[in-house]
Amino acid sequence: MRRLAVFNSVTLDGYFTGRDGDLSWAHAGSDDPEFREFTAENAGGGGTLLFGRKTYDMMASWWPTPAAARSDPKVAEGMNRMPKVVFSRSLEHASWDNTTVMRGDLAREVRDLKDGSGEGLVILGSGSIIGQLARAGLIDEYQLMVTPVVLGEGRTMFEGVDKTIGFRLTESRSFRNGRVFLRYEASS
């Protein structure tokens, strides 16, 4: 069975995006060489990327561009190479290479993906699907890059979660730019 992980940057006050979708805070401090190496290694892994439509639109407008290839060549290569799934009821066609659009029941589609063969599945961004899949107990691992900033308001990844979900810390790593990587497994 394939494992499903989430990877997101979050603020100290727990938001993965600002009130108006602002993500500029998530890019501050990217000049730390150790952090950039970690990011490149993480993006170069295998598996399938899962997105909601809004995150897909944002990623598809950046990673296939020449500017992305110049700015962050290793990450751009990984993002463009990896298979991608976008969950959307409104998107008719995916313009980004290696992308499949799924319109069915989210939990059922993800269960089917997890039951399939191959490397793991990773959700980037996509708070609306994270909340739904967390409620369904389908997320195995949460990878959080905590960024030392407070927004005061924004969106949490766990919107709509109406039950307590426990976690077990399996890894932590700090960077000179003040960020801290935390890896949690969902407790049963």
Per CATH, which fold does 4-186 belong to?
Dihydrofolate Reductase, subunit A (3.40.430)
Cα dihedral 52→58→63→67 (10° resolution) = 180
Listed by start position, the domains of the chain span 4-186
CA–CA gap between residue 175 and residue 152 (Å, rounded): 24
Residue 61, both tokens:
């407008």
Model pTM? 0.91
Residue 24, both tokens:
């500029």
Helix (H) or strand (E) holding 107: helix 106-115
pLDDT in tens, 18-49: 988 888 898 876 678 888 888 777 766 679 99
CA–CA gap between residue 86 and residue 81 (Å, rounded): 15
Closest CA to 20 of 158, 143, 129, 152: 152
pLDDT in tens, 82-102: 999 999 999 989 999 999 999
pLDDT at 44: 61
pLDDT band with cut points at 50, 70 and 90 for residue 114: very high
pLDDT band with cut points at 50, 70 and 90 for residue 8: very high
CB 114 within 8 A of CB 2: yes
pLDDT at 81: 92
CA–CA gap between residue 74 and residue 46 (Å, rounded): 13
Across all residues in the chain, what is the average pLDDT?
91
pLDDT in tens, 118-166: 999 999 988 889 999 999 999 999 999 999 999 999 999 998 888 899 9
